Amino acid sequence: MRALAALLLVALSAAAPLPLAAQQEPQRVVRDLSFEGNHALDDYTLRTAISTSSSSWFARAFLIRYFGLGEKRYFNELEFRRDVIRLLLLYRQSGYMNVVVDTLVRREDRDVYVTFRIYEGDPVRLTKLEITGFDSIGSVADLKRSLPLQVGDPFNRFLFQASADTIVSRLRNHGYPFGDVLRSFDVDVAGLTAQATLEAVPGPRMRIGEVVITGADQVDSATVRRMLSLKPNDWFRQDQLYRTQRDLYGLGMFRSVNVALADTVAPRAGDSTVRVVVRVIEAPRRRIRLGAGYGSIDCFRLQAGWTAYDFIGGARSLDLTGQLSKIGVGVPTNAGFERNVCRFLDGDPTSDTANYNATVTLRQPAFLSPRHAASFAVFAERRSEFKVYTRQAVGANLAVTLNARRNIPVALGYSYSVGRTTADPAVLCLVYLLCNVSDQTFLTNRRRFGAVTVSGVRDQTNSVLDPTAGSLVTGSLTHSSRLVGSDSLYEFNRGQLQIARYYPLGRRGAFAWRVLGGTILPARKISLKGQSLRFVPPDQRFYGGGPNSVRGYARNELGPRVYVTDSIEVNGSDTTYRNLRASPTGGNAVFIGNAELRFATPLFPDRMRVALFVDVGQVWERDDTLSAISGVRVTPGLGLRFVTPLGPVRLDAAYNGHAAEPGPLFLQNNADRSLSLVPDVTIRPGLPRGFWRRVVVQFAVGQAF
């Protein structure tokens, strides 16, 4: 207390009027602000605790600042003196009682350069932390391990308060709505030790009594009640109030939702229930969405949507969406853009026709229970995967999400469609050994496709758009057979598992890694046109490469491929293949691994990040006798991340030191479009000459994983 009183006196003296000569000094621009000797607290924390701040980068950079660009921040002598006191108080509250703050100020005619020199000294460490009043509620040992302040740490008052708040949260999640914590501590500055006590005061344990709903005019209050995670006669839990608030807001029917205790003080003795009030402000029940964009594999695209919330009551929603892509390159919207702005699609057979999707979806958020949700959708679509396949179908999807509001929601879905999937004839010839036109036409006829899918997600990341801490685990299993409505040709099982982990590094950096694996197991062999084969439709196979996969490869370019020529010319020892093209075939097994280090740049540290990454992966076709792919491909790279309201905009450059995968050669007969395998010939492309020809640039929105 004496030390704090002394600091207060110094602060008052610093606030005294400055001499007239000092007041008449010209205003100077803060060109540089730095800290020396700080280890316990980083620069960012110290900068936010003081008033003096450095000018923006454009106003500080040599030569550039003379153009008058950037925001200039001026030096205030009075606030600068107070900043010393602010830093002293911050350090002492953080446990460093013997800290000394010195300053170095270099003044020029119009500029000033400020340095705070900090001598932190040894911290006061917590030697004993006692928790009382919690024994009858839960395990004190487990509670201690979860507190932000641990024995042996510097005695940080902020973490001490956070520890008290943690205990209060535990009390209120165990049925004690008016629980509180009393704090006390004893600091020995000379011995650099501290002892602290947190005394829990639970108060009465109470149940939920009346739940009052206000603000629901057009929405039926019974609908709101069905979404509540708390029910009358349940033990009070603060986290259930937060969950109810989040669930109601997520329905889209309300502009604002607040769920809180109606009683601000503990009730009279003998009263064992508390009232809860749910306050809502309704939002418009009809909404229209319009969007347009451009993508390297979509060219120009349009989308529109209309949503009716609380459709026929019950909090359900009706959603109509439509999308159109390949505008400018695909019939009937072809405008020749593949020769200029959409040149990425030049030569892609899957982009010759515009893609579309029209979907009507009915969603029921509280299905049988507030914890479950259901949806039913009908759709018509034409979609293509770059250089791989085209799928055209009409169908319906039915999905039920169990424990939708828990940590691990599990989705059980059934899809049924009637359509056809076409691919490059060379791919069908290689994978399924059907090389003439009539056989391939039979293979790509319209067929029934039914599938049951089970998927689960365990998302513990701190951000959806730009995670820096936590983990993400996703898994899915798909079964297709005649038992679930498929054509006899479509019988397979498909599984995929992805694990990602994020570790924060400072305030703006992170290290992240991801592992993804998948496999397809056809149910049985079938006899087709005299051939015995295991058929998996091209749209269900695995493909690799692209901005969210192994970034050293273009989209779908990782893994097996087949080569096609329409003419072979032999001139002595030289053989020339005319119009040679390559098509990825995909595979029935995939492995992808990524590791990435992200950190802020000195230039615009709040808006720009640098990423160093290494991607490894491969796509295989098990039991493939025509191609010999072994081992994974490794592609290191460097990237930039620009922070935007829509998430990070990403530009990655990866080095690919591997030649394109070898593959068998097929000769195409231009008269009837049939194919034949060229025996004993395997195309083995060489490595591109020169460093820059081996660099693959990827551009996307959002992190790679």
- Architecture per CATH, domain 424-705, reads as Beta Barrel (2.40)
Least reliable range by pLDDT among 127-141, 247-261, 329-343, 563-577: 563-577
Of the listed ranges 1-5, 112-116, 206-210, the one predicted with least confidence: 1-5
Backbone angles phi, psi at 668, to 5 degrees: -100, 130
Judged by phi (left if over 0) then psi (alpha if -120 to 50, else beta), residue 227 lies in: alpha
Residue 231 has pLDDT above 70, yes or no: yes
Top pLDDT among 117 and 109 is at 117
pLDDT, tens digit (0-9, with 9 covering 90-100), for 641-658:
998 887 889 999 999 999
Query: Helix (H, G, I), strand (E, B), or coil: what is residue 618?
Result: strand
Q: What is the dihedral of CA 280, 281, 287, 293, to 10 degrees?
A: -90
> For the residues 29-48, what does the mean pLDDT come to?
90
| Average pLDDT, integer, range 91-109 | 93
Q: For residue 453, what pLDDT is reported?
A: 96
Cα distances (angstroms) measured from residue 695 to each of 296, 345, 635, 692, 700: 18, 20, 10, 5, 16
As a whole number of angstroms, the distance between CA 556 and CA 542 comes to 9
Q: Pick 181 or 528 by higher pLDDT.
A: 181
Confidence band of 687 (pLDDT split at 50, 70, 90): confident
Give, in order, the Cα–Cα distances in Å from 392 to each of 79, 332, 347. Answer: 68, 16, 20
Determine the Cα–Cα distance for residues 452 and 545; give it in Å rounded to an integer.
27
* Predicted local confidence at residue 122, as pLDDT: 93
pLDDT attached to residue 625: 55
Residue 7 has pLDDT above 50, yes or no: no
Please state, in angstroms and rounded to a whole number, the distance separating the CA atoms of residues 594 and 428.
Answer: 31
pLDDT of amino acid 31: 87
Range scoring the smallest mean pLDDT among 298-302, 438-442, 629-633: 438-442
Domain ranges of the chain: 2-119, 125-201, 207-282, 288-408, 424-705
Confidence of residue 188 (pLDDT cuts 50, 70, 90): very high
Q: What is the mean pLDDT of residues 89-111?
A: 92
CATH no. for 125-201: 3.10.20.310
Residue 25 has a pLDDT of 61
Give the pLDDT of residue 465.
Answer: 84
Pairing of strands 447-459, 470-480: antiparallel
Per-residue model confidence (pLDDT) at position 388? 87
Tokens 């005299």 belong to 530
Which whole number is the average pLDDT over 208-222?
A: 89
Say if residue 449's pLDDT is above 70: yes
- pLDDT score at 128: 95
For the chain, give the number of residues. 705
CA distance 223 to 311: 12
Strand 373-385 versus strand 355-364 pairing type: antiparallel
pLDDT at residue 20, as a whole number: 43
String of DSSP letters for 182-249: EEEEEEETTTTEEEEEEEEE-----EEEEEEEES-SSS-HHHHHHT-S--TTSBP-HHHHHHHHHHHH
* Tokens encoding 552: 């050293």
Biggest alpha carbon–alpha carbon distance for the chain? 105
Say yes or no: do domains 2-119 and 207-282 share a fold.
Answer: yes
11 pLDDT tier (thresholds 50, 70, 90): very low
Say which residue, 479 or 2, is predicted with more confidence.
479
Q: Is the pLDDT of residue 5 over 50?
A: no
pLDDT score for 15: 46
Q: How many Cα atoms within 13 Å fall on the side-chain side of residue 421? A: 18
CATH 3.10.20.310 fits 207-282, yes or no: yes
Query: Any residues with CB less than 8 A from the CB of 533 and at least 6 apart, and which?
Result: 432, 433, 525, 526
β-partners of residue 451 are: 415
Structure confidence at residue 525 (pLDDT): 64
What is the predicted pLDDT for the residue at 9? 44
Cis peptide before 332 (omega within 30 of 0): yes
Across 193-197, average pLDDT: 95
Residue 564 banded pLDDT, cuts 50, 70, 90: confident
pLDDT at position 677 over 70 = yes
What token pair was written down for 34? 């730095």
Nearest-5° Cα angle at 608, 604 to 614: 145
The residue that leads in pLDDT, 533 or 248, is 248
The single-letter code of the amino acid at 318 is L
Q: What is the pLDDT of residues 401-430, one digit of tens each?
A: 988 666 788 999 999 999 998 887 777 776
- The pTM score is 0.79
Give dist(CA 612, CA 449) in Å, integer: 42
Indicate the pairing of strand 531-533 with strand 561-565.
unpaired
Query: What band does 63 get if pLDDT is binned at 50, 70 and 90?
Result: low
> Model confidence over 82-98: pLDDT tens digits?
999 999 999 999 999 99
Identify the pLDDT of residue 629: 67
Choose among 570, 586, 590: nearest CA to 578. Answer: 570
Provide the mean pLDDT of the chain: 87
Q: Give the type of residue at 255.
A: R
Q: Which residues pair with 130 in a beta bridge?
A: 197
Share of the chain above pLDDT 90, in %: 52
Paired tokens of 410: 């599990």
What pLDDT does 71 receive? 75
The confidence band for 124, taking pLDDT boundaries of 50, 70 and 90, is very high
Q: How far is CA 61 from CA 28, 68, 108, 189, 399, in A?
A: 16, 11, 16, 44, 57
Cα–Cα distances in angstroms (integers) from residue 258 to residues 242, 360, 454, 596, in the given order: 9, 32, 34, 39
Neighbours of 456 (CB within 10 A): 16
In 60-71, which positions are buried (b, 16+ CB within 10 angstroms) versus exposed (e)?
Answer: bbeeebeeeeee
User: Three-state SS for 416?
Assistant: strand
State the average pLDDT over residues 361-376.
89
**2-119 has which CATH code?**
3.10.20.310
Integer CA distances (angstroms), 197 to 173, 249, 491, in order: 22, 39, 65
Is residue 16's pLDDT more than 50? no
163 residue type, one letter: S
